[in-house]
Amino acid sequence: MIDTLTIPTQRTTASRLPEVDFDQLEFGKTFADHMLVVDYQNGEWQEPQIVPYGDMTVSPANSALHYGQAIFEGMKAYKNQDGEIFIFRPQDNLSRLNASAERMCMPAVPEEIFMQGLSQLIRLDAEWVPNFTGSALYIRPFMFATDGMLGVRPSDSYRFMIITCPVGLYYNKPLRVRFEEKYVRSAEGGAGFAKNAGNYGAAMYPTKLAQEEGYNQLIWTDASEHKYVEESGTMNAMFVIDGRLITPALSTSILDGITRRSVLQLAHDWGMPVEERKVSALEILAAHAAGTLQEAFGVGTAATIAPISVIGYQGEDFTLPTAPADAFSHRVTAALAAIRSGEATDTHGWMVRVQS
């Protein structure tokens, strides 16, 4: 268990919870009452605090605004059938946050600050955790440089924060995607494996172009040849071809997704053949033509499992068959939901309980 009584807390005097319509949640637009804040100054982390959610002041010369030293994570907390709150794989998110921090020349966040702050914050805002089907409390830990100086160098000071928001389903229908063969999300040796803000900012323009063409998202391809699948929008990409689960192998240009890890583990548990390797656009289309492309879907924290119904390639759309009820993507979606709700045994120890 995590000690949740050590961080100074300033409670809000006016909760916004009564104003929230949990039946009409838009993802990422409704925030819980409190947030965790801790600064890094003079080479060490200062005392963390939990304060009411609200705006903050930064210098116009803030180096994160000018030079992009900003990273984040995405994770979720769930209520089980007994109303207890559990966080899904928080240690994995901490490890990935600190891997991103290292790549971006930022200090590592201590486990004590991350885990105690996370637990106490969610305990304080426990009533913000929804419990209807497909819902969760989305958790956004993030860190940014706070030096007020114009100079291309790592900042000397930083701020780490955690904010949370109740959410429902991210996508409510299968996705239309297309292969991107011009623009690049990330290149080998770059920072594509890190959850830094710049990766997402650079992806917005080509994504907007695809959306204007009627697609929901892109399937990013490699920077050198534009042949091999990397990610699907902000998710890891997976395909079921002739009974095998195939996904691009991790690299410096592909994010090590926590949901990706979980889906691959369940596939292994069920004895399903798993291949982590290069997979080309042409291989996907050839499997579609041969009738062996059974499923395509994205996996990520926000959407969990997002089925793909149409894949566009060089101006032509290819419609995928509707996945049957016993398809892998449906079974793994149900299995993850059952683990998170407590209906199924958490054999891998993924769920971390928040003290009540």
For position 4, what pLDDT does the model report? 45
Taking only the tens place, the pLDDT of each residue in 190-234 is 999 999 999 999 999 999 999 999 999 999 999 999 999 999 999
Distance CA 38, CA 41 (A): 10
Once rounded to an integer, what is the mean pLDDT over residues 231-259? Answer: 96
Taking only the tens place, the pLDDT of each residue in 139-174 is 999 999 999 999 999 999 999 999 999 999 888 899
Q: Which amino acid is at 142?
A: F
For position 2, what pLDDT does the model report? 41
Residue 342: pLDDT band by 50, 70, 90 thresholds?
Answer: very high
With the C-alpha atoms ordered 308, 314, 315, 316, is the resulting torsion angle positive or negative? negative
Residue 134: pLDDT band by 50, 70, 90 thresholds?
Answer: confident
Average pLDDT score over the chain = 95
Once rounded to an integer, what is the mean pLDDT over residues 88-98? Answer: 98
**Cα–Cα distances in Å, from 104 out to 37, 100, 192, 237?**
20, 6, 11, 25
Name the pTM for this structure.
0.95
Contacts of 164 (CB under 8 A, 6+ apart): 31, 32, 35, 77, 121, 122, 125, 128, 137, 138, 139, 140
pLDDT at residue 279 above 90? yes
Distance CA 154, CA 105 (A): 6
For position 171, what pLDDT does the model report? 85
For position 178, what pLDDT does the model report? 98
Neighbours of 94 (CB within 10 A): 21
Q: How far apart are the first and last CA of the chain?
A: 11
Share of the chain above pLDDT 70, in %: 98
Q: Which amino acid is at 316?
A: E
Q: Which amino acid is at 155?
A: S
Once rounded to an integer, what is the mean pLDDT over residues 93-108? Answer: 98
Distance CA 32, CA 159 (A): 20
